[in-house]
Amino acid sequence: MKAVVKNIETTKNYILLTVETEKELKIEPGQFVMLKLKHYDFGKPFSVTYQEGKIIKFLIAVVGEMTKEMLKLKTNEEIAIRGAYGIPFIEKIDQNKKYVLLGGDCGSAPLIHFSEKYPHLVKEKIYGFATSEIKKILNVEGLHIDKESNMNLLEKANTINISSDDAFLICGSMDMIKTVKNYFKNNKIYASLEARMACGIGICKGCPIKTTEGIKMICKDGPIFDLSEVELEW
């Protein structure tokens, strides 16, 4: 499907991209879509930060060749969009719990979407970024700027009154996810493992994860998993 760039805000390391799709796509928090630039043969998966009707926003870290190209996108330029893919957070999590949302860098994107759609399930939001440049393009409650992101995110989480009944919904680097899992051993933790995805659509076979129910593919069976059911060290 075609989408048109409505707005693009950039910093050195981040892009906040707003597009308008031809028709409304049904996208639940935690799902991702494939975005393809004009001169590219393949698209790449991106999770959604915000959606209302045909308007979709993406918070993107500038990390590879395609995202560097995205920095050059102009208003009214066309891109291709496909989706949504992946299992919505809401279908896997325990809806009787309250969630501390812990986002590492642009892993915060699907959590921001979740908090907008399901505020009654959110206990606290902590979106950790390494540099304050993110504030130029992102204005949401819960932004936490710190260079030593992993440990300081945990310290910040520790200032919240977390009971063993509260749960975590987290998304970020594998390092961050392992750290949170080791630290909050008594709490239920659901993690979006999207950082490990490549093609996003089951072709590259590059996203296997060992679970208590055998090998699963992050892009097809996730990206969200209950961390008590996966072996992160595999």
Enumerate binding residues for ligand FES (CB under 6 A). Answer: 197-200, 202-207, 217-219
Q: Which residues are annotated as a binding site for [2Fe-2S] cluster?
A: 199, 204, 207, 219
Between CA 164 and CA 161 the distance in angstroms is 10
User: Residues 111, 125, 178, 187: is their CA dihedral positive or negative?
Assistant: negative
Instruction: Give the nearer residue to ligand FES in terms of CB position, either 71 or 87.
Output: 87
CA gap 156, 145 in Å, rounded: 11
- The DSSP string of 157-181 is HHTS---TT-EEEEES-HHHHHHHH
Nearest to ligand FES of 64, 206 (CB atom): 206
Minimum Å gap between C-beta 208 and ligand FES is 8
Contact 131, 121 (CB under 8 A): no
| Closest distance to ligand FES from the beta carbon of 93 (Å) | 21
| Residue 51 half-sphere exposure toward CB, CA atoms < 13 A | 23
Write down the least CB distance from residue 207 to ligand FES, Å. 3
Encoding tokens for residue 119?
Answer: 């505020």
Q: How far is the CB of 43 from ligand FES (least distance, A)?
A: 12
Pick 35 or 143: Cβ nearer ligand FES:
35
CB 104 within 8 A of CB 176: yes
CB 189 within 8 A of CB 167: yes
Q: How far is the CB of 126 from ligand FES (least distance, A)?
A: 27
**Which positions make up the binding site?**
199, 204, 207, 219
**Which lies closer to ligand FES via its Cβ, residue 111 or residue 219?**
219
Smaller CB separation from ligand FES, 53 or 206:
206
Which is closer to ligand FES, CB of 128 or CB of 200? 200
- Inter-helix orientation angle 149-158/174-183, to 10°: 30
Q: Which residues contact 39 (CB under 8 A, 6 or more apart)?
A: none
Minimal distance, residue 16 CB to ligand FES, in Å: 24
DSSP symbol at 26: -
Dihedral over Cα of 3, 84, 226, 220: its sign: negative
